[in-house]
Chains A and B, each alone.
Chain A
Amino acid sequence: EAQVTQNPRYLITVTGKKLTVTCSQNMNHEYMSWYRQDPGLGLRQIYYSMNVEVTDKGDVPEGYKVSRKEKRNFPLILESPSPNQTSLYFCASSLEGGSYEQYFGPGTRLTVT
């Protein structure tokens, strides 16, 4: 089954404790992206990747890191999480960027206390 998977689905952590949210896709897509969803703000793009070893900032990259060492994986790293990073996070992939449909993972709900 073609899908985007994220782990963990739910995470509660404390300020400053480094964490990684994994994202994997099995569709051989070139493009992958991370978003955060907050009430009243819709989805905002954090980082995206056009291909292996090629990443770029979205609209809200501060406090986040990404890497794309393999085509199928695109982990999101929070090196020192803060409470304002409490949010619902989505990973997405598409064949390419631009007008191609993006396929979304099920989401990771992160709470930072």
Chain B
Amino acid sequence: GDSVTQMEGPVTLSEEAFLTINCTYTATGYPSLFWYVQYPGEGLQLLLKATKADDKGSNKGFEATYRKETTSFHLEKGSVQVSDSAVYFCALTISNDYKLSFGAGTTVTVRA
């Protein structure tokens, strides 16, 4: 079945460090890919998405590129802030499907 694998955490960084969270997927069709973020005590919110190969999603300084050849959608940010401390989830859905599959989540802590 369709699934997402993302790097295990937790990840601890200093402010202004570079962040990468790896995400790879397995899908039977042509998926749309997402990164959702969950701040402490809150629900999830969409961070960025890409709907076809080579698309780059970006938001709040985060970027991820849909790589069909490596079945990956790695999340990157060049300079993290304390406010980026959260749990990050990679997710996919297949076109015309109604199921959203999530990875296990990666906890990121940024220290001042």
Choose the segment among A13-21, A65-73, A74-82, A104-112 that binds chain B (4+ C-beta atoms closer than 8 Å).
A104-112
B side interface size, CB within 8 A? 22
- Residue pairs across A and B with CB atoms within 8 Å: the count is 60
Q: Are B97 and A97 in contact (CB under 8 A)?
A: yes
**In the assembled complex, which residues on chain B have CB atoms less than 8 Å from the CB atom of A107?**
42-43
Q: Which residues of A contact B (CB under 8 A)?
A: 4, 31, 33, 35, 40-45, 48, 50, 56, 58-59, 90, 92, 97-99, 101-107
Q: How far is the CA of A41 from the CA of B92 in the complex (A)?
A: 15
Q: Which residues of B contact A (CB under 8 A)?
A: 32, 42-46, 49, 51, 89, 91, 93, 95-105
Q: Are A102 and B46 in contact (CB under 8 A)?
A: yes
**In the assembled complex, which residues on chain B have CB atoms less than 8 Å from the CB atom of A45?**
99-101
Given known pairs A42-B89, A107-B43, the reply for A50 and B98 (CB within 8 Å) is yes
**In the assembled complex, which residues on chain A have CB atoms less than 8 Å from the CB atom of B101?**
45, 59
Q: Are A42 and B96 in contact (CB under 8 A)?
A: no
Q: Are B45 and A97 in contact (CB under 8 A)?
A: no
Distance (Å) between the CB of B104 and the closest chain A CB? 4
6 closest cross-chain pairs (CB), A and B: A104-B43, A97-B98, A99-B32, A42-B102, A42-B104, A43-B102
Q: How far is the CA of A59 from the CA of B104 in the complex (A)?
A: 14
Closest to A96 in B: B98
Distance (Å) between the CB of B62 and the closest chain A CB? 15
Closest to A44 in B: B102
